[in-house]
Amino acid sequence: MKTVEELKQIANDVRIDIIRQVSRAQSGHPGGSLGCTDILTVLYFNVMDITPENAVSIDRDRFVLSKGHASPALYAILAAKGIIPHEELKTFRQLDSRLQGHPNMNMVPGVDMSTGSLGQGLSAANGMALANRLDGNDHRIYCLMGDGEVEEGQIWEAAMAAHHYKLDNLCGIVDVNNLQIDGTTDHVIGPNPIGPKFAAFGWNVIEIDGHDYNEIQNAFAEAKTVKGVPTVIIANTVKGKGVSFMENNVDWHGKAPSGDLIKVALNDLGAQEE
């Protein structure tokens, strides 16, 4: 188990790698990637039992990045765990690279589902959780969604199914930063209140600060104790967390910094431009 201070350092390094990936490619989605970094850091280093040795096995906890455009965060986490070479991050979104804008389970070890079409990840996670039960596999399935993504109807069909099948080996996480590509979520469709909606579908709901490591860890620990229903963690986050000009700024949903802004972003994170 990593200490909170160790987790913070890993997360900061991951955020640096996110900025470097999208800056080199001049393409990608930094805002939501930076916002979910603390959640992924706790999940991969203190919750799931994934290692470089079992990365291509189903006999371990598995993760579905339903908001697949946050791939820079996932790739940086996999590199930090030693599952993919850190040097490979330099190939993000390049032709013939394994690290494309949306993760591909057939190319990248440790990627458990190919995602990118929003709204589909929870359905895939349901299937994994149900298959584990049928196979007698007691490992857990985790699925990270975006708050803009839960405007998709398929999410709620999957939520209904997960309750129907009593998938208590499934833990959803909703990254609630209140922003999506076209503006605030309330302006686009208005999914709030998200927690009560999942509760109405029969889920156990835990609401946390998605940047507080103790709250994140306690939520995952609580989810493991819940029997008979799936659990969803409503994680309130700051889009662009850690980079001054990106925080709570929808302009950085899907745009890479260039020029002096790269230096500013890396300086905010205590790093220098390569």
Res 272: pLDDT: 81
Scanning the chain, the segments in alpha helix (DSSP H) are 4-25, 30-35, 37-42, 71-80, 121-135, 153-164, 185-188, 194-200, 213-225, 260-268
Taking residues 135-141, what's their average pLDDT? 98
What is the sign of the dihedral through the CA atoms of 171, 176, 182 and 186?
positive
- Report residue 84's pLDDT band, with 50, 70 and 90 as the boundaries: very high
Taking residues 188-195, what's their average pLDDT? 95
Query: 153 — phi, psi (to 5°)?
Result: -65, -30
Res 72: pLDDT: 98
What are the pLDDT digits (tens) for 156-172?
Answer: 999 999 999 999 999 99
For residue 274, pLDDT beyond 90: no
pTM of the entire structure? Answer: 0.97
Tell me how crowded residue 140 is: count the other CB atoms within 10 A of its CB.
22
Q: Where are the domains of the chain?
A: 4-268
Residue of 262, 191, 187 whose CA lies nearest to 26: 262
- Report residue 54's pLDDT band, with 50, 70 and 90 as the boundaries: very high
Res 168: pLDDT: 98
For residue 69, pLDDT beyond 80: yes
Residue of 126, 212, 211, 135 whose CA lies nearest to 172: 126
- 4-268: CATH topology is Rossmann fold (3.40.50)
Using CA atoms, how far apart are residues 176 and 198, in angstroms rounded to an integer? 14
Res 231: pLDDT: 99
- Report residue 255's pLDDT band, with 50, 70 and 90 as the boundaries: very high
Taking residues 263-273, what's their average pLDDT? 94
Using CA atoms, how far apart are residues 21 and 34, in angstroms rounded to an integer? 12
Res 111: pLDDT: 98
Residue 145: partners with Cβ closer than 8 Å, 6 or more residues away? 66, 67, 121, 122, 155, 172, 173, 174, 175
Which position has the token pair 């309130």?
236
- Report residue 101's pLDDT band, with 50, 70 and 90 as the boundaries: very high
Taking residues 98-111, what's their average pLDDT? 98
Using CA atoms, how far apart are residues 214 and 168, in angstroms rounded to an integer? 22
Cis bond upstream, residue 191 (ω within 30): no
Taking residues 227-233, what's their average pLDDT? 99
Res 273: pLDDT: 72
Average pLDDT, the chain: 97
Percent of the chain whose predicted confidence (pLDDT) is above 90 = 99
Using CA atoms, how far apart are residues 167 and 202, in angstroms rounded to an integer? 11
121: left (phi over 0), alpha (psi -120 to 50) or beta: alpha
